[in-house]
Amino acid sequence: MRYISTRGETAPLSFKDAVITGLAPDGGLLLPEQVPDVAAELAGWRGLSFQQLAVEVMSCFIGDVSREDLTRIVQISYGGFDAPEVTPVVGLGDLTLLELFHGPTLAFKDVALQFLGNLFEHILTERRERLNVIGATSGDTGSAAIAGVRGKDRIAIFVMYPQGRTSALQELQMITVVDDNVHSLAIDGSFDDCQGILKRIFGDLEFKQRFHLGAVNSVNWARVLAQIVYYIYSYLLVAEEDEALTFSVPTGNFGDIFAGFMAARMGLPVDRLILATNENDILTNFFNTGRYRRGQVQFTITPAMDIQVASNFERFLYYRLGEDGEAVKSFMQSFTDKGEASVEVDGPVCDLIEAISIDTDATLAEMREVYERHRYVLDPHTAVGVAAARRLPRQSRIICLATAHPAKFPESVERALGGVSATHPSLQGLDRAPTRREVLPADEEAVKRYVSEHAL
């Protein structure tokens, strides 16, 4: 299988090159040249473990990693999850929850980043190369990226975060990882300062090449690939033969729901995908009107969804615009220049995707409702998806993706459920664990100096 760019100006790449490259050189995102049809395989895949299924599904997209190597990479990636099913399903009245938070940092991003870290290490070992990952986080995603590469020989990671502006728990999840290859950089500034520094460092091509800098960002194809697996896995656990199911997906960067979109294109019987956003509703507006228009970021109790520009959206756009790279380019150009762009609509933007925005009050109310009825504590992100599922007319049974463990968001749990607390053993005692971090000024040169002294 080869990989092509959504903007059509990159020569096709092998899977391994697509993974190492991340973003296509023409500025587009990478997609498989054809989407494999697995409809005829589904019945035979019933009863496979998550890991076995992952090897089957991923093999459809990978031509240049042997089955033996892939099996090993999958085994080590999911060996540390604290549920034997890796992504178990739980009944919640007439809904089903797909728990994606059994990895090391208790968020769904672990499913992809554990795999990506091991895949990178495998490719770098083969090529005798090394990589220094550098990134910026407002608090939520840094720890999953760190957990994905900690202890690896050929990868080091530098994560900048705004000192004092993440939650205490978010900072602890990063700085209690004390492996030599992990560098948590507390920047004396805002998240915007961190992002600005990151941009300028990546803009210095000589520096970037000299220190083999790269990103483990949300657009890497391997992340989407790992996420396709749990749509198929949960479908096989829940559905009768040929039954079509709906998935409700709390959405920020459109990575998770795009994996569901791909699963549907592969022949999984998906009735609908519910795209659930918080007050940051650029995607909801797009799917309801065809107009993609940038707004101001609003800060909510679901920080992982406080996003205005969804980094994976371009992949969907490519299919929506008839796989026409030129059309994608002009849409994105218009969006960059004017802050908005549109697709022609004649009915729904996409028959498969129904979008709805859920505000903070409705999210908290859903957490309360589910707790009162089922004694189950939802994290606020998951609650956005569950609330969305309840509000839309129902044609089929629904699986709601549970994207984080509630213990990661104790303030919101307290606000919704007053007196009920959510805990998790891996977070207890974190405040007494050894820590390592480096405090640096919000200054590009200071960060570069640190990176140059500690890069692999």
Ligand X SMILES: *Cc1c(COP(=O)(O)O)cnc(C)c1O
Q: Of 32 and 406, which CB lies nearer to ligand X in the complex structure?
A: 406
The Cα 113–Cα 438 span in angstroms is: 24
For 354, the token pair is: 């129904």
Question: Residue 109 catalytic?
Answer: yes
Q: Which residues pair with 274 in a beta bridge?
A: 248, 354
Stretch that binds ligand X, among 84-92, 171-179, 253-261, 346-354 (CB under 6 A): 253-261
Alpha helices in 65-108 (DSSP H): 67-78
Task: Report the residue from 7, 272, 381, 437 that binds ligand X according to the rule CB under 6 A.
Answer: 381
For 45, the token pair is: 């895949």
Q: Of 132 and 141, which CB lies nearer to ligand X in the complex structure?
A: 141
Stretch that binds ligand X, among 151-159, 172-180, 248-256, 289-297 (CB under 6 A): 248-256
Q: Is 255 in the site for ligand X (CB under 6 A)?
A: yes
Stretch that binds ligand X, among 153-161, 245-253, 288-296, 316-324 (CB under 6 A): 245-253
8-state DSSP, 155: E
- Show the site string, 169-208: x = touches ligand X by CB under 6 A, - = not: ----------------------------------------
Task: Report the residue from 103, 252, 260, 325 that binds ligand X according to the rule CB under 6 A.
Answer: 252
Q: Of 120 and 254, which CB lies nearer to ligand X in the complex structure?
A: 254
Q: Is 142 in the site for ligand X (CB under 6 A)?
A: no
332 φ, ψ to 5°?
Answer: -70, -35
Q: Is 214 in the site for ligand X (CB under 6 A)?
A: no
Q: Of 211 and 409, which CB lies nearer to ligand X in the complex structure?
A: 409
193 neighbors 137 (Cβ within 8 angstroms):
no
Q: Of 95 and 402, which CB lies nearer to ligand X in the complex structure?
A: 402
Q: CB-based contacts of 38: which residues, under 8 Å, 6+ apart?
A: 57, 60, 232, 266, 267, 268
Q: Is 403 in the site for ligand X (CB under 6 A)?
A: yes
Task: Report the residue from 137, 170, 220, 251 that binds ligand X according to the rule CB under 6 A.
Answer: 251
Residue spans of beta strands (DSSP E) within 329-453: 340-342, 353-357, 398-402, 438-441
Q: Is 104 in the site for ligand X (CB under 6 A)?
A: no
CA quadruple 364, 420, 83, 425: dihedral, nearest 10: 130
Q: Is 405 in the site for ligand X (CB under 6 A)?
A: no
Q: Is 305 in the site for ligand X (CB under 6 A)?
A: yes
Q: Is 304 in the site for ligand X (CB under 6 A)?
A: yes
Q: Is 102 in the site for ligand X (CB under 6 A)?
A: no
291 φ, ψ to 5°?
Answer: -105, 125
For 424, the token pair is: 């998790």
170 φ, ψ to 5°?
Answer: -60, -45
Helices H, strands E: what count in the chain?
18, 15
Smallest CA-to-CA distance from 224 within 252, 256, 253 is with 256
Catalytic sites, residue numbers = 109
- Which residues of this protein are in contact with ligand X, per CB under 6 A? 107-109, 140, 250-256, 304-305, 381, 403-404
